[in-house]
Structure 1
């Protein structure tokens, strides 16, 4: 009798102990990094140049976080408790002193505490508990009706601003690529970006984006699409 074989399950996510417990953070309003997505950054402030150089010399890891108040002009503004660990995959020093880097999202994290530091940049103790799924591609696709609603709302959102997109590429993009890329590049407010980061699943992130888009589309007498 032949034994039946079930499909081989995906490899387990990397154990959290392999992720750094102490990480430097880069507070940047409106900048959203998500697991397995990439973000180009233009680094020019001396403290963040030092952070990137130290990270590249070590494990290449930095934590992207958002200030709670984008208008907070303090040197060290309060930040949200949830951020995304990023790995610097490319870097290039420019003649004018800037550094161009590409960061790939690894896993979301929770800030447990901020450490006293002697470096010019801030450092926190991070926990990855609850985010093991970030290290595996999603196994459940976005519901087709929700995906169609998202694309339709996006088209209306862009049309209202005289913008366009390559709808063929959007139509062919895998669910995770579509949802996460749009979440990162759309001109949403910082608190909206944070809500997208904290969404528990890809489906929840898509639904959150639909809510944000439809709220913007419903705002009366506002050519920017933002509520007053």
Structure 2
């Protein structure tokens, strides 16, 4: 288990997806509680926590979040064609939720313990196929990493997180990969998953 840094309280945004460190996530904001969250984070320059929903839905009554999530910082705003506010976020540190409380407006807040960043580890040669697969995924899907430095592909943590967010994995698989603390084991898990996506 990862060592933990000092406690923080952050607003939580439960979603039907997982945000990984260094990842990018675009969100439509329409509920008043999340408009308040965006205003708070913009005013203070603070982050909010993204957690996978274990029970419930993104809208309506507060959902039950997974115990491990990722801090998200707002990097851009847009006014969408449907009239809603759009935000772009970038994933930061992971955290473990120790306790939660619900504000009167339905916004979930959590006391969280931050995890330290993973140490950079070189991608072992036996996982070089994963580097090639990620290159092809990025070329096809055109995410923000199209012009990523070649050095990043040699970073086991970066490679694993990018594959985890681009492959069509189930929510529990995404969450399991997020909670892993060994980048090499994460790559091994992804390698074992890959045959599922090979064409017959």
2:43 alignment partner in structure 1: 57
- Look up the match of 2:113: 127
Deviating 4+ runs (over 3 angstroms): 69-74, 93-97, 151-155, 163-166, 168-173, 175-178
Per the normalisation by structure 1, the TM-score is 0.68
Match in the other structure for 1:6:
none
8 Å Cα contact 1:42-1:101 kept in structure 2? yes
After superposition, residues 39-58 of structure 1 pair within 5 angstroms as 39-58=25-44
Structure 1, gaps ≥5 residues long: 1-14
CA contact (8 A) 1:23 1:123 kept: yes
**Contact 1:153 1:213 (8 Å CA) reproduced:** no
CA distance, structure 1, for counterparts of residue 8 and residue 54 of structure 2: 22
Segments of structure 2 that go 5 or more residues without pairing to the other structure are none
What is the CA-CA distance between 1:79 and the residue it aligns to?
A: 1.7
Q: Deviations over 1:53-82 (max 9, x none)?
A: 222122331100001247798722322110
Distance in 2 (alpha carbons) for counterparts of 1:185 and 1:64:
17
Q: Distance in 1 between matches of 2:58 and 2:89?
A: 25
Residue of structure 2 equivalent to 1:7: none
Equivalent residue number for residue 165 of structure 2: 184
Superposed CA offset, 1:93-120 (max 9, x none): 4474422212122210000001141233
Which residue of structure 1 lines up, in the alignment, with residue 11 of structure 2? 24
The answer to whether the 8 A contact 2:31-2:59 is kept is: no
Across the two proteins, how many residue pairs are aligned to each other? 190
Match of 2:126 in 1: 145
TM-score, reference length from structure 2: 0.76
